Structure 1
């Protein structure tokens, strides 16, 4: 049975007490991550190579774990910022991909 629309006895008018049950304010993921990026030291982010003008590979330490990050970037207000398009590989995932590099190269040569 739903309680929506039903009131307990004596609750004919909304009260300030009901405001304490309001959901917490939401914050945008982007603004939270952007603020964290401003506070963090970029020394944990090592750019390994630029794949193209807006794509790069970097190795970074995030939340105490090391990640290989392959990501697209965009420019906003003169700053280069990470976009949504990309992938972050854990060390285990990176090792699996690296171990299969020869097979990937072989498949590429067969399909070219």
Structure 2
């Protein structure tokens, strides 16, 4: 896939937090933009990358995203992917095969 066409389930969040140019639902204002959603941060996989579970437009997504810092606050960047629960389950079911391809037989 060239990267231009996205399947409906593969939403990408723009740097302003919108998805594919559409603003996310309004939420109560908070002082730190990194906390103004119902995201559950599962883990930080590097300094500026994190995995979170979020509820967006009534659906649950596993979001793997790069963040950037602006004025001391973290904001979601464009680079990342949001997987539907079905897509997440497919990926999870193939972890052993991925580990074998990586040379890890554990």
Residue 66 of structure 1: which of 56, 60, 65 is its match? 60
Aligned pair in 2 of structure 1 residues 95, 78: CA closer, same or farther (>3 Å)? same
Q: Which aligned pairs between 1:23-102 and structure 2 lie closer than 5 A?
A: 30=16, 33=23, 36=26, 39=29, 42=36, 44-102=38-96
With a CA cutoff of 8 Å and minimum separation of 6, indicate the structure with the bigger relative contact order.
2
**Pairwise CA RMSD:** 2.8
Give the Cα–Cα distance (whole angstroms) in 2 for the partners of residues 34 and 96 of structure 1: 26
Provide the C-alpha distance between the structure 1 equivalents of 2:51 and 2:73, rounded to a whole number of angstroms.
18
- For residues 55 and 105 of structure 1, what CA distance do their matches in structure 2 show? 21
| 1:39-78: CA deviation from partner (whole Å, max 9, x where unpaired) | 4874620000000000000000000000000000000111
Change (3 A) 1:38 1:71: farther
- Aligned-pair CA distance for 1:95: 0.2
TM-score, structure 1 as length reference: 0.63
Compute the TM-score of the two structures, normalised by the length of structure 2: 0.66
Larger Rg: 1
